[in-house]
Amino acid sequence: MLFNRVLQRLPKPKSGTRSHHPNPFDPQTTRGWKAAVKEAALPTTVHDAEVARGLEIGLPGASSIEDKTIPTFSRGELPHFAGINTFMKAPFVEDVREVGGFDATVIGVPFDGGCTYRAGTRFGPQGIRRISALYTPYNYEMGIDLREQMSLCDAGDVFTIPANLEKSFDQISNAVAHVAATGSFPIILGGDHSIGFPTVRGLASVTSKRIGIIHVDRHADIQEKDLDERMHTTPYFHATNLPNVRPENLVQIGIGGWQVPRAAVGNMVERRTNIFTMDDIEQLGIEKVAEMALERAWDGCDAVYMSYDIDSIEAAFVPGTGWPEPGGLLPREALKLVGLVAKEGLCGMEVVEVSPPYDHADITSLMALRIVVDALGSMVSHGTMGDHKKIIDKPFVPF
Ligand SMILES: [Mn+2]
């Protein structure tokens, strides 16, 4: 009512004209309408096969059930609150030698031995998997359906060793190297950020090509040691020592606040990494930053890896993390950035630092899930899913 009264007091436009949008307004020009129309072009083949399989192995539903696609035992996507909680209800591949049959493989890394404040990221993979039950594989705005357009499996978790960073690192590198060598795209759910070194080391071991890294974080994570060990403050010192990962191709986005150790800053300068603060993002805009980041990460490289630390997002949105820092990315900025980075293709990705014991209503886990599916969605919609296979030219050699 108040709004109407305000409108009445405004000067009347010339009859039949409007200044703020075309007149007459064609509702079929909105992105919303265009996205809605795209849905009909998507296949339902895999969905239909999933329903048929559900009826076969889960038994047809009781006679009183009118919807004949509903089985007795929940199998597949529905209902969202039921079922065994793999990532997005993707098949659990118990025999990890079979992951090569899937475009992408989820690898849980339940490890928080590198955490220097709040622990709990050992529960990160399960937190993200739990809330992933909420999602459908279809994204309305992108006009894509992951179930129809790519295949995904969940390989379960790496057997980490809680009290030993180095043994855990070797286990993690083994897991990532194995999955990457099969040609499946590795999606790593951390775990604290100390895993950022062994994940890249695993990937780098199965290729002779150069890898750039886009590292989104509030923290620099490039000290040589912290508390006398390779803690979650150190991965990019060690990753950029790998022969095919150069610091010039490390792009660090969102760094800032009161938790960046001075010991890390000297290393950033000495190694000439590429650093964008929140101020840079505000000045340049997220699209420009993504463009510059891609230019630096891809320069002289054959592939780019994305390491996404959930604490890069404004602390209010991600309470379930080890070192929350206000003033970070807004969720919409974060998702925009991830979409833009992923559309050029990735050779692997990780999302780290989700600590469910400190979370509320699963919101931090949900944000991490969204980072993963938006990256996959962007690669699928830009036709770059599968590009990672091009760089795999060395066999898996166990660590
Ligand atoms: Mn961080």
Q: What is the DSSP string of 195-239?
A: GHHHHHHHHHTT-SS-EEEEEE-SS----S-BTTB--TT-HHHHH
195 alpha carbon to ligand 1 midpoint, in Å? 12
* Confidence at 1, pLDDT banded by 50, 70, 90: very low
Mean pLDDT of all residues in 144-170: 98
Pick the CATH number of 87-391 from 3.20.20.120, 3.20.20.70, 3.40.50.1820, 3.40.800.10: 3.40.800.10
pLDDT band, residue 11 (cuts 50/70/90): low
pLDDT tens digits along 196-213: 999 999 999 999 999 999
d(CA 376, CA 352): 17
Percent of the chain topping pLDDT 70: 95
Mean pLDDT, rounded, for 85-109? 98
- Global pTM value: 0.94
pLDDT of residue 23: 73
CA separation for the pair 118, 354 (Å, rounded): 11
Instruction: Give the chain's mean pLDDT.
Output: 95
Cα(142) to centroid of ligand 1, in Å? 29
Ligand 1 centroid to residue 57 C-alpha, Å: 44
Q: How far is the CA of 310 from the centre of ligand 1 (A)?
A: 7
**pLDDT at residue 6, rounded to an integer:** 53
Residues with CB under 5 A from ligand 1 (ion): 217, 219, 309, 311
The model's pLDDT over 169-186, given as tens digits with 9 standing for 90+, comes to 999 999 999 999 999 999
Does residue 253 register a pLDDT over 50?
yes
Q: Does the pLDDT value for residue 20 go beyond 80?
A: no
Copy the structure tokens of residue 172.
């993690």
Q: What's the 398 CA to ligand 1 centre distance in angstroms?
A: 29
All structural domains of the chain with their residue ranges: 46-79, 87-391
188 Cα to the center of ligand 1, angstroms: 16
Angstrom CA distances, 392 to 7, 75, 100, 154, 156, stand at 62, 35, 13, 21, 23
- pLDDT for res 18: 63
Centre of ligand 1 to C-alpha 274, Å, is 16
Q: Which of 43, 108, 91, 77 is nearest to 369 (CA)?
A: 108
- Compute the distance from residue 312 Cα to the ligand 1 centre, in Å: 6
Q: Of the ranges 8-12, 56-60, 82-86, 237-241, which one carries the lowest mean pLDDT score? A: 8-12
396 C-alpha to ligand 1 centroid (Å): 30
pLDDT digits (tens, 9 = 90+) for 276-308: 999 999 999 999 999 999 999 999 999 999 999
Distance (angstroms) between ligand 1 centre and the Cα of 328 equals: 11
> What's residue 104's pLDDT?
98
Q: What is the pLDDT of residue 24?
A: 78
pLDDT, residue 271, reads 97
